[in-house]
Amino acid sequence: MTEQLEDPRETIRELQRELEETNSGLVALTLELEQRVDERTAELRQAHEELRRTNSELLQLTLELEERVAQRTEEVRRLNEELEARVRQRTAELEAANRELEAFAYSVSHDLRAPLRAIDGFSQAVLEDYAQKLDESGRSYLRRLRGASQRMARLIDDILTLSRVTRRELQRERVNLSTLVWEIAAELQRSEPAREVEFVVAPEAMVEGDRALLRQVLENLLRNAYKFTSKHPRARIEFGVQSENGEKAYFVRDDGAGFNSKYSDKLFGPFQRLHSVQEFEGTGIGLATVQRIIQRHGGRVWAEGAVEQGATFYFSF
Amino acid sequence: MNKKTILLVEDNPDDEALTLRALKKNNLLNEIVVAHDGAEALDYLFATGPYAGGKTPNGPQIVLLDLKLPKVNGLEVLRRIRADERTRRIPVVILTSSKEEQDLMRSYDLGANSYVRKPVAFEEFTEAVRQVGLYWLLLNEVPPTVSPQQVA
């Protein structure tokens, strides 16, 4: 027999089988694809969900931050108000303290003087009315009593001046220091016309400051110069200006008793004295007052001197 | 001849003694009446209280007035003196320790004739009293005053 041709039905069946295979392959592929699409979709959905969540968290954060900023701003505002209230309170307290100080100073000056007057007055009364009944020792004791009470009166005056310097408000204006020096020099000359004192005054020393307080400075310095030259037959007191390192300094110089420069840092302390009362009378407040006034003007004071070779007091501001 | 009466209004006994002594030293101790507070001063001047129906023929020729007084203070006494027809011409010399600008101004505003600060040193004090006394009691002329005691 001859080779039979493949049964066409076999071919068809083969083809069918191939087709089915391909088909199922395709179906499988499709299923796979669909699955993958599902997976992707799920992933996308999740990503979207996460994004949405992040977004809402960010929004939340933004709201929180805004709230915190608002809170801080409110706190700062409140702190500011508190600070201002505290400043107002402190100012009121300081003003009250100042008023108390003024009342105290008035009381000190007024009420302390009365008993002093009695001490001085009755000592003198005893000296006058009972001089015969007293020996020289008794009279001397009474004189000491009077001296002490008068000294105390001067101390009270000086302390009051010092306290007034601190309390007073500075009234700034143009002041001619040279004119003031001449005025004070004239007063000093009148107080002791017998003395030979030469005044040398630099002209037109103009400054900006409180006239009354600056007058006090010059008075204290010039009176000191006058006092500490009183043991010499002739004296020279100079007021001048000098420039040092661009700093303008004014000075009062005398050729009197001077001071030991070892103690120069004590000079301006209140109640500090470098001479005994027997040598030169004084309360030790004059220079402290000068220093305080110059400091209130934003300046400084210093001094040079040597024993029996005069002294120079400088101030700058 | 009318004896010139001085009314001294002073609460401090030491100042009183010293003022009297100073007046005496200068032979100015005429008739001195001392009032120790404002109320006593007013009683004397207007013949009230313990001075009612008094026998003094003249009102004071001068009032030496301290400012710090108990009961009624010096400025109030001054105001009353100037407010009353019977007393308003009497010279009033304020004699005080006060250095306060205020007191000085108020005293002149209320019609004080003079304002003298009491110095601490006794010689100065005596000298002040002497000058005040000599001026107001000897040199100065005052119109006659009608004494409240005479009217009463």
Greatest Cα pair distance in chain A = 194
Single out the residue of B137, B4, B7 nearest to residue B64, CA to CA: B7
A116 CB within 8 Å of a chain B CB? yes
Q: CB contacts < 8 Å between A and B, how many? A: 51
β-strands A247-254, B5-9: how paired? Answer: unpaired
Average pLDDT value for residue range A256-279: 80
Q: What residues have CB less than 8 Å from B8, skipping those under 6 apart?
A: B16, B19, B20, B32, B33, B34, B35, B64
Q: What is the DSSP letter of A282?
A: -
Backbone angles phi, psi at A283, to 5 degrees: -105, -10
Interface of B with A (CB under 8 A): 12, 14-15, 17-18, 21, 68, 97-100, 118-123, 125
**pLDDT tens per residue across span A17-58:** 888 888 888 888 889 999 999 999 999 999 999 999 999 999
Predicted local distance difference test score (pLDDT) of residue B125: 82
pLDDT exceeds cutoff 60 at A271: yes
Question: Tell me: the pLDDT tens digits for A107-161?
Answer: 777 778 888 888 988 988 898 889 889 999 988 888 888 888 888 888 888 877 7
Query: What ipTM describes this predicted complex?
Result: 0.71
Give the residue from B122, B123, B124, B126 with the most A CB atoms within 10 Å of its CB, the best one to mutate.
Answer: B122
- Residue A298 backbone class (left: φ over 0; alpha: ψ -120 to 50; beta: rest): left
pLDDT digit string (tens) for B109-151?
A: 999 999 988 887 878 888 888 888 888 888 888 776 655 555 4
Gap from A123 CA to chain B (nearest CA, Å): 9
* Chain B partners within 8 Å of A109 (Cβ): 99
Contact B55, B120 (CB under 8 A): no
In the numeric block, which tokens belong to residue A306?
């040597």
Select from B23, B26, B120, B126 the residue whose CB has the most chain A CBs within 10 Å, as the one to mutate to test that interface: B120
Considering chain B, what percentage of its residues have pLDDT values greater than 70? Answer: 88
Q: Which of B68, B100, B125 faces A121 most closely, judged by CB atoms?
A: B125
% of chain A beyond a pLDDT of 70: 97
Cβ–Cβ < 8 Å for A153, A113: yes
B63: confidence class by pLDDT, cuts 50, 70, 90 = very high
**Residue contact A109–B120, C-beta within 8 A:** no
Give residue B53's identity as a one-letter amino acid code: G
All residues of chain B having their beta carbon less than 8 Å from the beta carbon of residue A124 are 122-123
Say what the pLDDT of residue A147 is: 86
- Mark yes or no for CB contact A117/B18 under 8 Å: yes
Assessment of whether the complete model's pTM goes beyond 0.90: no
Predicted confidence at residue A88, as pLDDT, reads 94
